Every structure is written in structure tokens, then in C-alpha cells.
């Protein structure tokens, strides 16, 4: 097995395609590669220095023959001459085929490392030649301008006397001690003396560079050939080793299982097949993805390896011939070595490798550059485990909240959030050393992410981890953190083994599980053998077959026995199934048998169902549905138990990674239940229960500490106090919990009787009362500071879920709405000098669910007004002043839209003189209605972040200077976002972030506008978001000003074909309004008549209804009426573009919308298609919606079928009577489908975009 497989992870990749760093098995050691680079650079520097020396000799008229004589004298003295090295280089340049190995041999022949070291020592002892002397000699030569050949010869002779100094050593000595400034002075003096020109120096430098490039290319080519050969050899070794490792894994997954039809089948071990990576064996269920190992891997090793793997690793890591020679071939100077070492150190170090255990909480996350950033998460997903990841000095927990991993420091009351999953996290696991966290989710684009708990960095992300985005059901990691195993959540489950420490995107092997094995939901590795793992469903376990003739109960969890030769499976009946693992001898052939297991014993361990089964040190530990925690030895004899705490069912147990200290006189460990009565010493541990409570048990003294209690059911109700940093959180389990969100401290709570689930919460404007609506129709008015009843008895006037609750501005009225479409009103009355709440009246005013309930203020008398908004598209206002006991009077009713239903509403801030009511629709539109007349004054494009807006609130302001710059906070199905006011359709004014992937249930804002809070419903969490308005403003400025953002919303932009056609239609409309055949002088202006607006809209492909056309007219006519008192009758091109963008369908005309209409209005024919009969189709056009007259319908069909000229009555010069002559029975088919209606009747084309809904457009 290669180092890449056996080394623990350090830092892999953060996303798709990022390579890992470090040294892998079969690859060159990173230090060797670094040395090679240093040697190559040293060779290049040697060559450069040699050239410079030769140029200086040439300048001083020193001949090559004299230098050769010096070399010959060195050769006589027994030293290696430069001539041999020079000849080697000349041969290398001439042949052009010298390999790196030959260069190394040449270096080895000319000088060994020991000889170089001796030369250095002799040079230091002699002390007869220093670089300063050599420099002085050069300076004297340059000053005199006449360096002679004799002086140079004397210098060489002194070198020989001083201790066999070679030319290479002289050059290196010059290079070591000569600074760049001295070299520059030398050049300047040479220029002054006129003996060396700049051109000569440049030519010499170019020659040196050319030679360096040639040598570098030759050395690199040789190194690449050698490295490729070694990599190929290593890949063969790794392939063989991993194939061998799969022989054990084959026992973990039934390869070709065909169990009998009985509930518990016989032993199927004979049917297990060998698993290998041979791609020619296509009949195997396992598949392997060959991958190229990265050039390096992490350098740590593990002791948990079989002996055969260690031997193979040693063979792979043996140094090859020539590697040590490469290290010895060049001598380095000290400062060069240090420089390279420091550079290498910088390259190797990363945040993951340098961050220490407590580094995560030392990071400052206060400065955020995002408009919305998570600061705190309330609640935790109690269906997933909670882990103990730090020691006693740092009590740090790990748990999941929706799609976020939360690392919580109990002592510091601080959280760190690991964000990256697009869906709610479905499973997680952690390595033995608590360093590496693996998380996975379920849903579209599901991910597997491995995190570093020290730094919080996602070191590796696995995309496309399961087929069809089914998600991951269970995940496990080996003790040494090298392998991951996952089980998908699909109908046909798939088990995958991931070598995540490598830069690969595919699993090492996979297996599809037969449905007969049940739905696997738990997975674990053998703690001492990475090749073995076991999974189980509620009825069956996989990795083995079993045979029982009686019911044993539903499996909960499985683990490997302490003796490692057996498996243990716990059941919900309190039993323990013991399995023997049968492994063939190592020397046995693949045909002699494969690892398999057989049940050997059924132990009735306890009466209570076992929910948790794990091991720690020398104990087997169980947790059960009664809240008991029991410890057994390897013989399954009980050693100790904790039952005195009266806990609810145990969900998870996580032991400290620090072993218990030896007992002292001050220790207070309880005695075990053996005859000896020894002290029961075990690690401290975390307990998580099914009622969402987390405890810490200190075993020394048996002290149980409750860390936190969170709601165990969905959270749908949240509300912020109007002037204090308090947030109330209500859960369907009947709990209301109040937090101080600034200090992140729990204040108080109340749990209501069973059956009362909190559905809605609202504070009154004074902050003294908290209104609560419950799932069975009860309404409580509570004291905000104690949660005690504010009224003598709760109100029970509804039998269904109370979804909305609201107070009037003066706290005199309270209104509620339930799922029965009923609005109820309560009023404050004074009795016996006390203000008490009384029921006033209720009314079933809507036909569909009520979307919002809103109090307002009458502009003339400051009296409260009440409005309700329903999914039936009705906006209803009630007359509170004229309502009395059991009678709620309706003031007026208005329809908000023709097709789309409203989702929410708020009072628009007074940014203009006209007062508006803002209503969001399911068509991604924001509509402004006059608060008095209810006329639709503006229709604007709203945020389009995957789903329509469902909740919206106005961000509070802290100072009067902020009143002219307002913001909205909105929430759709799974995101929370910000919108800059005024709303005008500019998409750059909005931003959003995923808050709850499984669906958000509620939203509220802090009183100072600093935070937004979102409730996740089923994910049982509330997330606190910090609002950064400056970041949003900065992002908006990048989108451009004026019409620039709107140009980007049309195809091609400002210079595109669409906008050019729009201009043409706009000016052609002016010609039409002036008369096509007129001979008068044309007047071209920047405006068109308002009556021309619908014709231009239809010409560019937008077909508004008559009601929408009326809304457009009102928007233009009354756009400036409040300010100027004038009604507009024309529109310019920029305003026309804005109206078009804001009114058109946000995603174009889609086939899904047309098909939906046929699904509702049609029936299923004999072919299984939704169709509408021809007679019914014509009747619908005449009687439903904006019904047409017979003449209008006939004329439209005549134009559509080409019997009338294009333009029909919109063109003044054309008129025809063909409409009355058309026979629709002949032109229309008997049965009309959505496709026939679109393509044959309307004449539109259907796009073939497979990734999104088909769009239709004009031909």
C-alpha cells in the first residue's frame, strides 16, 4: 500500500480539481526533489561563474593554454582537472543526448563529496586565499587597466599551493562572498578603464543564458524520463497492493449475493467473489477508478498497518540507484542552503499544517465582507450525534444545525460555523484524533466535505458522490483517517470507499446493495483494520450473512468486538448478536475461501432496547431507551452502569480523546460491580438524548452537567423583542425559549402541556406581552418577561392551527388567523379597574389559506385598521370600529392579481408622498397598492432566487437620518436576503444566502436592525445573521447606474438585436399614430402615445392581459400625479423598457405554465394525454376569464390561421371580413393538447433546453 493511502490527511483540496501536497508512496521524496532543484540551480550558477571567469581572463589576455597547464599540474598532483569536466560538457552539447544519470556519473568521477569537504577544510586551514584577496587583485587590475597574464597565473598557482583548489571552487568562492554591489562597481571600473564595454558584458551574459537553457532542458528531460519510469513502476506496485487489500474488503460487502427467500437466509459466504481492479472483469459489482497519485503526499506515517503492507511500502520507498549520487555531486554554500530551505518551508506550510488545536477560536470573524453572515445558531439536529472533540481544559462540542456544522466552546460560549453544504446535513463522523470531520448531505448537488477541526478549513470536497442526487445516508471514517465509507440514500443503496487523501473525484470501489438486505442506515470500520467494515439496517447486517430461526429484533448499531475476531450487533429488543469472523490463512489462494462471518451466539443482554453501541478502551458500552448507560468487559459481563440520572433515550455517546488519569487520594471514582470492587475508571464523555438535551459526565466524582436543552421538534415560531436584545423561539414540542442574542445566553423558558405545539409568536409594540398561537387552536397571551399567563385563561375559539398573530400599534387589539381561513379579533377592556383581554369576533373571510395578517393606522383619525391577505388572491379590510361581539364587519374586498396568488405584505415606508401597501406574489412580482383606494400603482420585478418571497419585513432604523434610506429583509423557501428601497426592478439591489435548505418557516428582525433571524422548521434550528449594509451598497454600485442594470436583463444588452428591434418598433409606433398614408411632415420625438403601449408590447413578444394593460396605463398616468397633479398620456423609451422588464414573466413563457392550464381544465384521453375538447375550448374563451365576444374570437383565429393580414385591426390600413367566414370546426382539431395549442394554433416554437423548463417564443 502506498504512502498516499497510509499517510493521515494534512490538506487535500477545497473543491473540484485541486491537487494535494506532500509525498506519496512510489514517488520521489519531497526533500530529494528539493535537493535536485538546488543542485540544478547550483550547476547553472557554476556555468555562469565559469563564463564570467573566462571573460575576465580574455580581458586580461590570459590564454586557454596557460589555464590548461594549470589544470595539468593539478592532474599530476592527483586532483580532478577541469579539462575532464569541460570535455564532458562539450560531449554533452555536441551529442545533445546526455541523460541526467550520465551527468551525475561525470560529476561523480570529477569530484566526490568527501573530496569536496576535504578541499574546504584544507582551504580553511591554509587560509592563504580569501575572496577579499581575489577581489583586491581584480580591483588593482581594473584600476591599472592592464591586468597581465602573469598575475592571473600567479593567482592559480597560489590556489594550487593552498590546497588543490579547483576552478569550480574558485568560482563558488567568488559567488559566495562577492556581493551584487561589488560586482556592479567592478563593471563600472572596467567601463572607466575602457577595457570592457557594456556590449561585451551583455554578449557574455547572453551566451551564459543560452548555455544555461540548453543544460537545463537536457537535465529536465532526463529527470522527466526517470520520474516517468519510476511513477509507472510505482503505479504498478500500488495497483497490485490495492487489489490485494480488496480481498479483505470483499467480506465487508456481499458481492454476488443470492439469499434464500426466508427471513434469515443461510450462510452465503461461499458466494463471495474476489474483488480486484482488473478492468477486463466487467461482470463485477465493484468498480475501481484508476487514478494517478499526486507527486507528493503527507509525510506522517501510521502504525496501524498489516506487516505485508509495511514490507511493500519499504520496497517502494527504497532509494534508487543514483539518488544518493545526485545529492553528493555538488557542494553548496551555507547561505544558499538556508535560502532554499526557507523557500521550501514556505511552500510546504499551509494554514492546515500550521494551525494548532485551539487555533479555530483565535480567529477574528467579526469583520465580514458579506451583506449577511451567520453569527450564531440556536438549536441542533438531535437525530445526528454530538461529538466531544477537545480535552477537559477546552470543552468543545461538535454538532449539526441544518446545513451547518457547529463547533461550540462551552466554557467560552463561542461558536464557529463550517458552511458549505447546499442541503441539510444528513450524517457526519470524526476521526479518532478528533482532527478530521467528514459531513454529507441529501438533495440536489449533494456534497461530501472533509474539514480540519483545528482551522475550520474544508480540506477536501467530493462532488457527484451519489447517483441522481439521492444523498448520503451514513458515513464512516477509519481510525487513521485515510479512508471514508458512505452509503447512499437512494432506493437502491450504493456503498463507496473513498481514498479522500488523494486528489481524486471517484470512489476507489463501489457496490450496489440488493433491496433484500433492507435499508442500511449505520456504518462503521474495524478500528484496527481499514479493510473491514460493517453496516446494518433495522433487520439485517451487511458484510456477512446470517442464519437465525427466530426473531432477534431490529438492529440499531454494530461494532467490532474488542478481540477483533468478532462482530457485535445490538437490537431494539435488548439483545446482542455475536458474529465470528472467519478469515482464510494469508498464504491461501483466492479459491480457498474469502473472509466471512457466521452468527455464533445471541445474548439477552438487557430488557431495554439498545440505541447506542460503541467501545472505549477495554469496555463495550451501550445506551438504551430508558436512559441507562452500561459498560461491559470483553466477556460481556457488566462492569458498571449509570442509571441514576433518569435520562431520556440515549442518542449518542462521545468519549474524551484524553485517557483518564491514574487515581489519587483525591479521586472519587465509583467502584465497579465486580467482586473486587475496584475503582471504575473511564474517560469523561458527552451524552446526547433523543429529547435534544446534551450532558457532560465527569466520571471522577460522577458529576452530570446539563450543557444545553434544545427543541426536539420543528421550530416554526420566532419573535424579537421590540426594544431589548431578546428572541423568543417556539417549537412544536410545546417549548418557548427566550435567549439574549447579544450575549448568546439562555434566559428562561416554558414547556406547555403535551399536545400544545407553538405555531406563532409575536410581541406587542410595548414589549410587555407575548402572543402565542398553538397547533390545536389555543391562543395564549403571556407576560414577556416571565412567560406566565397574561390573561386568566387561554382563548380556545379555533379548532385548528393558529398560523398568524398580530397586535395593533396601540396594543388595543390582537388578531389571529388559522388554517380554517378564519380571522379572529381580541380586544382590551377595562373591568374592575383592570385591563383584560376579551374575545371580540371571528369570521371565515377567505376561501383559501390566509397568507398574512396586518394592522395599520388610518391616516385621518389614528385608529387601527386590520387587513388580511389570502391565497384566494383577496385583500380584505375589516371595520374594527363597527365590529361588535361575535360580529366582525368587512370594510372592502379587492383582488390583488389575475393569476398569481399573493404571499405576504407590509406597509411601504413613506419614501414618497403617496402611501402604499407592498404585496409580493407567487409570480416573482412586487406590487404597490394605494393604501386607501387599493389601486395597483406599480408592478415591479422582485428577487428571483429560486422561489417566490414568502416573508418580508422592513428593516428598523436607529436614527432619523436613516429614514430616507430604507431596506427590506425577505425570505423565500430556503434563502434570506436584503433589498434596497425603493423597489424598481434593479436586480443588483438584492442579495440572498441559503439559510435552511429543507425550508424556512419564519423570520424576525432585531429591534436595532443589526440582525436577522430565520427559523428552519423541520431542521429544528434558528440562525442569527449579521446585516452589513455597506457591503450590499458596494455590490450595488458595481451593477451600474440609471438604465445600465436594465440593459443587462434583455437579450444582447444595449447593443443587442432585441433592443435594436425595440427602438424600431418604438419609432414605427410614432408613424402609426401619425397615420401610415399621411403626406404631412413627420414629427419624430422621444415619446409614443400611451395607447400604443400594448401594441409595442405584443410586437416584442409579451402578451399582457387586459387587466395588466390597465395596470400599465395606471402606472404611467399616475406616476407623477401626487407631485405635479398632472396625468401623463405618453411614455418615453427608457420608461417603456422598465415597464416591459417589470411586467413580463420573469422566466419567459414556459410550457409548464401552459401545460398546467390544460391539466386543470382538460381531461385524460385514451392516449394518457391531457386534452380539451374543441367545443369546451371555444366555450372557455367566450365565458371564462377575460371572455371574448364571438366576433373578437373569430377575428383572432382568422389572423392566427393567416386568413387576415398580420396586424389585424391594429393596422389602420387593413381590414377584413374573413373572421365571420372562418369555420372553426374545420380549422381546429377535435382534441387540443398543450403542444397543439402552442405550436399549431399560436404558432410559437418550443425550445429544447433539457436543463430547465422549455420556453416558448414567437417564430
Strand partners, 967: 980
Give the per-residue pLDDT at 153. Answer: 53
Q: Give CA separation, 1139 vs 294, 1093, 1129, in Å.
A: 56, 10, 15
1216 contacts 1204 by C-beta, under 8 angstroms: yes
Give the per-residue pLDDT at 349. Answer: 67
Strand partners, 780: 772
Closest listed residue to residue 751, CA positions, set 767, 772, 773, 736: 736
Q: Is 314 helix (H, G, I), strand (E, B) or coil?
A: helix
Q: Would you say how long the chain is, in residues?
A: 1259
Opening angle at CA 892, ends 886 and 896, nearest 5: 125
Whole-angstrom distance, CA of residue 40 vs CA of residue 920: 69
Locus of grid cell 400599465? 1112
Closest listed residue to residue 596, CA positions, set 585, 582, 580: 582
Of all helices (H) and strands (E), which one includes residue 857?
Answer: strand 850-857
Give the per-residue pLDDT at 750. Answer: 92
- The pTM of the whole model exceeds 0.75: no
Locus of grid cell 554578449? 203
Residues of the chain with pLDDT under 70: 1-214, 216, 218-219, 222-349, 365-367, 392, 543-553, 586-594, 1076-1079, 1081-1082, 1204-1221, 1248-1259
Q: Is the dihedral of CA 755, 758, 759, 765 positive or negative?
A: positive
Whole-angstrom distance, CA of residue 274 vs CA of residue 248: 9
List helix spans (H) across 267-389.
307-317, 323-328, 334-348, 351-354
Q: Which long-range contacts (CB under 8 A, 24 or more apart) does 994-998 make?
A: 994/403, 994/422, 995/402, 995/971, 995/1023, 995/1025, 996/402, 996/403, 996/424, 996/1021, 996/1023, 997/402, 997/403, 997/421, 997/422, 997/423, 997/424, 997/441, 997/443, 998/402, 998/423, 998/424, 998/974
Locus of grid cell 387552536? 777
175 contacts 89 by C-beta, under 8 angstroms: no
In the chain, how long is the greatest CA-to-CA distance? 127
Q: Is 450 helix (H, G, I), strand (E, B) or coil?
A: strand
Opening angle at CA 482, ends 481 and 488, nearest 5: 90
Give the per-residue pLDDT at 668. Answer: 85
Locus of grid cell 437465525? 548
Whole-angstrom distance, CA of residue 1072 vs CA of residue 1207: 12
Give the per-residue pLDDT at 135. Answer: 58
| DSSP codes, 1088-1142 | EEGGGHHHHHHHTT----HHHHHHHHHHHHTTTHHHH-----EEEHHHHHHHHHH
Give the per-residue pLDDT at 212. Answer: 66
Other Cβ atoms within 10 Å of 830 Cβ, number = 8
Whole-angstrom distance, CA of residue 111 vs CA of residue 328: 9
Closest listed residue to residue 293, CA positions, set 210, 235, 377: 235
Whole-angstrom distance, CA of residue 595 vs CA of residue 299: 32
Whole-angstrom distance, CA of residue 529 vs CA of residue 823: 65
Closest listed residue to residue 970, CA positions, set 912, 913, 1014: 1014
Strand partners, 938: 928
The dihedral formed by the CA atoms of 140, 144, 148 and 152, expressed in degrees to the nearest 10: 10
| DSSP codes, 153-189 | HHHHHHHHHHH---HHHHHHHHHHH--HHHHHHHHHH
Whole-angstrom distance, CA of residue 1177 vs CA of residue 1188: 12
Whole-angstrom distance, CA of residue 1206 vs CA of residue 1221: 17
Secondary structure letter of residue 545 according to DSSP: -
Amino acid at each position: 500500500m502506498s504512502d498516499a493511502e497510509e499517510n493521515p490527511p494534512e490538506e487535500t483540496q477545497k473543491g473540484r480539481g485541486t491537487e494535494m501536497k506532500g509525498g506519496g508512496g512510489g514517488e520521489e521524496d519531497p526533500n530529494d526533489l528539493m535537493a535536485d532543484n538546488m543542485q540544478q540551480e547550483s550547476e547553472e550558477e557554476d556555468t555562469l561563474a565559469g563564463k564570467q571567469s573566462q571573460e575576465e581572463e580574455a580581458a586580461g589576455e590570459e590564454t586557454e593554454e596557460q589555464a590548461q597547464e594549470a589544470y595539468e599540474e593539478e592532474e599530476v598532483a592527483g586532483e580532478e582537472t577541469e579539462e575532464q569536466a569541460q570535455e564532458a560538457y562539450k560531449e554533452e552539447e555536441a551529442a545533445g543526448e546526455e541523460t541526467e544519470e550520465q551527468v551525475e556519473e561525470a560529476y561523480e568521477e570529477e569530484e566526490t563529496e568527501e573530496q569536496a569537504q576535504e578541499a574546504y577544510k584544507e582551504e580553511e586551514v591554509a587560509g592563504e586565499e580569501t575572496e577579499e584577496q581575489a577581489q583586491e587583485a581584480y580591483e588593482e587590475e581594473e584600476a591599472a587597466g592592464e591586468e597581465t597574464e602573469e598575475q592571473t597565473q600567479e593567482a592559480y598557482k597560489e590556489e594550487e599551493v593552498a590546497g588543490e583548489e579547483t576552478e569550480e571552487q574558485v568560482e563558488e568562492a567568488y559567488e559566495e562572498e562577492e556581493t551584487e554591489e561589488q560586482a556592479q562597481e567592478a563593471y563600472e571600473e572596467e567601463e572607466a578603464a575602457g577595457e570592457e564595454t557594456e556590449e561585451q558584458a551583455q554578449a557574455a551574459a547572453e551566451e551564459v543564458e543560452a548555455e544555461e537553457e540548453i543544460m537545463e532542458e537536457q537535465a529536465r528531460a532526463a529527470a522527466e524520463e526517470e520520474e516517468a519510469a519510476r511513477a509507472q513502476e510505482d503505479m504498478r506496485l500500488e495497483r497490485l497492493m490495492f487489489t490485494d487489500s480488496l480481498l479483505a474488503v470483499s467480506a465487508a460487502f456481499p458481492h454476488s449475493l443470492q439469499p434464500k427467500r426466508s427471513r434469515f437466509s443461510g450462510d452465503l459466504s461461499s458466494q463471495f467473489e474476489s474483488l480486484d481492479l482488473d478492468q477486463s472483469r466487467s461482470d463485477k459489482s465493484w468498480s475501481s477508478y484508476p487514478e494517478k497519485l499526486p507527486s507528493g503526499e503527507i509525510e506522517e506515517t501510521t502504525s496501524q498497518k498489516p506487516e505485508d503492507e509495511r514490507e511493500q511500502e519499504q520496497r517502494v520507498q527504497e532509494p534508487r540507484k543514483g539518488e544518493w549520487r545526485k545529492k553528493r555531486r555538488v557542494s553548496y554554500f551555507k547561505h544558499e542552503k538556508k535560502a532554499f530551505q526557507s523557500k521550501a518551508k514556505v511552500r510546504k506550510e499551509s494554514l492546515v499544517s500550521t494551525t494548532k488545536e485551539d487555533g479555530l477560536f483565535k480567529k477574528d470573524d467579526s469583520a465580514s465582507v458579506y451583506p449577511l453572515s451567520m453569527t450564531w445558531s440556536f438549536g441542533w439536529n438531535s437525530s445526528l450525534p454530538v461529538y466531544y472533540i477537545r480535552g477537559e481544559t477546552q470543552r468543545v462540542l461538535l454538532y449539526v444545525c441544518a446545513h451547518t456544522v457547529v463547533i461550540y466552546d462551552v466554557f467560552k460560549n463561542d461558536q464557529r460555523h463550517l458552511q458549505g453544504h447546499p442541503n441539510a446535513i444528513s450524517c457526519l463522523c470524526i476521526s479518532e484524533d478528533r482532527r478530521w470531520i467528514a459531513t454529507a448531505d441529501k438533495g440536489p448537488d449533494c456534497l461530501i466535505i472533509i474539514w480540519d477541526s483545528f482551522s475550520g478549513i474544508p480540506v477536501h470536497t467530493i462532488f457527484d458522490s451519489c447517483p441522481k442526487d439521492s444523498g448520503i445516508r451514513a458515513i464512516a471514517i477509519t481510525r487513521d483517517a485515510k479512508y471514508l465509507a458512505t452509503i447512499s440514500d437512494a432506493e437502491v443503496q450504493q456503498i463507496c470507499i473513498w481514498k479522500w487523501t488523494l486528489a481524486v473525484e471517484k470512489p476507489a470501489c463501489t457496490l450496489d446493495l440488493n433491496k433484500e438486505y433492507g435499508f442500511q442506515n449505520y456504518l462503521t470500520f474495524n478500528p484496527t483494520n481499514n479493510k473491514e467494515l460493517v453496516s446494518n439496517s433495522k433487520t439485517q447486517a451487511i458484510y456477512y450473512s446470517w442464519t437465525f430461526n427466530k426473531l432477534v429484533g431490529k438492529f440499531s448499531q454494530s461494532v467490532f468486538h474488542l478481540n477483533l475476531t468478532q462482530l457485535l450487533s445490538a437490537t431494539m429488543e435488548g439483545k446482542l448478536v455475536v458474529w465470528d469472523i472467519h478469515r482464510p490463512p494469508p498464504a491461501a489462494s483466492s479459491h480457498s475461501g474469502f473472509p466471512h462471518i457466521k452468527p455464533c451466539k445471541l445474548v439477552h443482554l438487557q430488557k431495554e432496547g439498545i440505541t447506542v453501541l460503541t467501545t472505549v478502551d477495554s469496555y463495550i458500552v451501550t445506551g438504551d431507551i430508558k436512559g441507562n448507560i452500561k459498560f461491559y468487559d470483553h466477556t460481556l459481563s457488566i462492569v458498571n452502569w449509570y442509571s441514576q440520572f433518569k435520562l431520556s433515550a440515549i442518542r449518542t455517546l462521545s468519549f474524551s480523546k484524553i485517557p483518564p488519569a491514574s487515581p489519587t487520594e483525591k479521586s472519587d471514582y465509583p467502584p465497579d460491580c465486580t467482586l473486587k470492587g475496584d475503582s471504575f475508571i473511564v474517560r469523561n464523555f458527552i451524552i446526547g438524548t433523543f429529547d435534544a438535551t446534551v450532558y457532560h459526565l465527569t466520571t471522577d466524582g460522577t458529576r452530570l452537567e446539563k450543557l444545553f436543552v434544545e427543541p426536539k421538534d420543528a421550530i416554526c415560531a420566532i419573535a424579537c423583542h421590540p426594544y431589548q436584545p431578546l428572541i423568543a423561539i417556539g417549537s412544536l414540542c410545546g417549548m418557548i425559549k427566550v435567549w439574549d442574542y447579544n450575549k448568546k445566553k439562555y434566559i428562561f423558558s416554558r414547556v406547555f402541556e403535551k399536545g400544545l405545539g407553538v405555531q406563532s409568536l409575536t410581541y406587542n409594540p410595548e414589549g410587555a406581552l407575548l402572543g402565542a398561537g398553538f397547533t390545536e387552536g389555543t391562543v395564549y397571551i403571556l407576560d414577556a418577561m416571565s412567560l406566565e399567563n397574561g390573561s386568566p385563561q387561554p382563548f380556545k375559539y379555533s379548532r385548528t392551527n393558529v398560523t398568524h398573530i398580530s397586535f395593533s400599534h396601540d396594543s388595543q387589539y390582537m388578531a389571529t388567523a388559522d388554517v380554517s381561513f378564519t380571522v379572529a379579533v381580541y380586544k382590551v377592556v377595562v373591568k374592575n379597574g383592570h385591563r383584560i383581554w376579551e374575545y371580540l369576533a371571528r369570521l371565515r373571510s377567505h376561501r383559501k389559506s390566509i397568507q398574512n395578517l396586518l394592522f395599520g393606522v388610518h391616516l385621518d383619525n389614528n385608529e387601527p385598521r386590520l387587513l388580511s391577505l389570502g391565497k384566494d388572491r383577496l385583500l380584505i379590510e375589516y371595520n374594527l370600529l363597527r365590529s361588535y361581539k361575535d360580529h366582525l364587519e368587512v370594510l372592502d374586498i379587492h383582488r390583488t392579481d389575475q393569476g398569481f396568488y399573493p404571499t405576504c405584505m407590509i406597509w411601504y415606508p413613506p419614501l414618497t408622498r403617496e402611501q402604499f401597501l407592498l404585496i409580493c406574489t407567487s409570480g416573482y412580482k412586487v406590487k404597490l397598492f394605494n393604501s386607501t383606494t387599493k389601486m395597483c400603482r406599480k408592478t415591479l420585478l422582485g428577487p428571483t432566487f429560486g422561489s417566490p418571497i414568502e416573508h418580508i419585513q422592513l428593516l428598523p432604523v436607529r436614527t432619523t437620518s436613516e429614514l430616507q434610506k430604507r431596506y427590506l429583509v425577505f425570505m423565500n423557501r430556503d434563502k434570506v436576503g436584503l433589498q434596497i428601497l425603493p423597489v424598481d426592478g434593479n436586480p443588483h439591489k438584492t442579495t440572498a444566502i441559503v439559510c435552511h435548505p429543507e425550508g424556512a418557516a419564519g423570520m424576525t428582525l432585531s429591534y436595532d436592525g443589526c440582525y436577522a433571524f430565520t427559523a428552519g422548521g423541520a431542521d429544528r434550528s434558528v440562525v442569527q445573521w449579521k446585516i452589513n449594509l455597506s457591503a450590499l451598497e458596494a455590490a450595488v454600485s458595481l451593477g451600474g447606474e440609471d438604465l445600465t442594470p436594465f440593459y443587462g436583463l434583455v437579450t444582447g444588452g444595449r447593443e443587442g438585436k432585441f433592443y435594436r428591434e425595440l427602438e424600431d418598433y418604438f419609432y414605427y409606433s410614432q408613424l402609426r399614430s401619425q397615420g401610415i398614408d399621411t403626406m404631412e411632415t413627420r414629427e419624430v420625438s422621444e415619446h409614443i402615445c400611451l395607447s400604443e403601449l400594448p401594441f409595442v408590447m405584443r410586437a416584442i413578444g409579451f402578451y399582457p392581459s387586459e387587466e395588466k394593460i390597465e395596470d400599465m396605463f395606471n402606472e404611467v398616468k399616475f406616476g407623477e400625479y401626487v407631485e405635479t397633479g398632472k396625468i401623463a398620456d405618453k411614455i418615453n423609451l427608457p420608461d417603456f423598457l422598465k415597464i416591459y422588464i417589470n411586467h413580463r414573466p420573469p422566466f419567459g413563457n414556459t410550457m409548464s405554465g401552459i401545460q398546467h392550464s390544460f391539466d386543470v381544465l382538460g381531461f385524460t384521453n385514451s392516449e394518457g394525454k391531457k386534452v380539451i375538447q374543441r367545443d369546451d375550448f371555444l366555450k372557455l374563451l367566450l365565458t371564462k376569464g377575460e371572455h371574448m365576444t364571438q366576433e373578437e374570437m373569430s377575428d383572432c383565429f382568422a389572423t392566427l390561421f393567416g386568413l387576415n393580414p398580420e396586424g389585424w385591426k391594429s393596422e389602420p390600413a387593413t381590414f377584413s371580413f374573413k373572421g365571420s367566414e372562418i369555420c372553426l370546426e374545420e380549422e381546429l382539431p377535435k382534441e387540443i393538447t398543450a403542444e397543439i395549442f402552442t405550436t399549431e394554433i399560436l404558432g410559437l416554437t418550443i425550445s429544447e433546453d433539457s436543463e430547465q423548463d422549455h420556453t416558448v417564443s414567437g417564430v
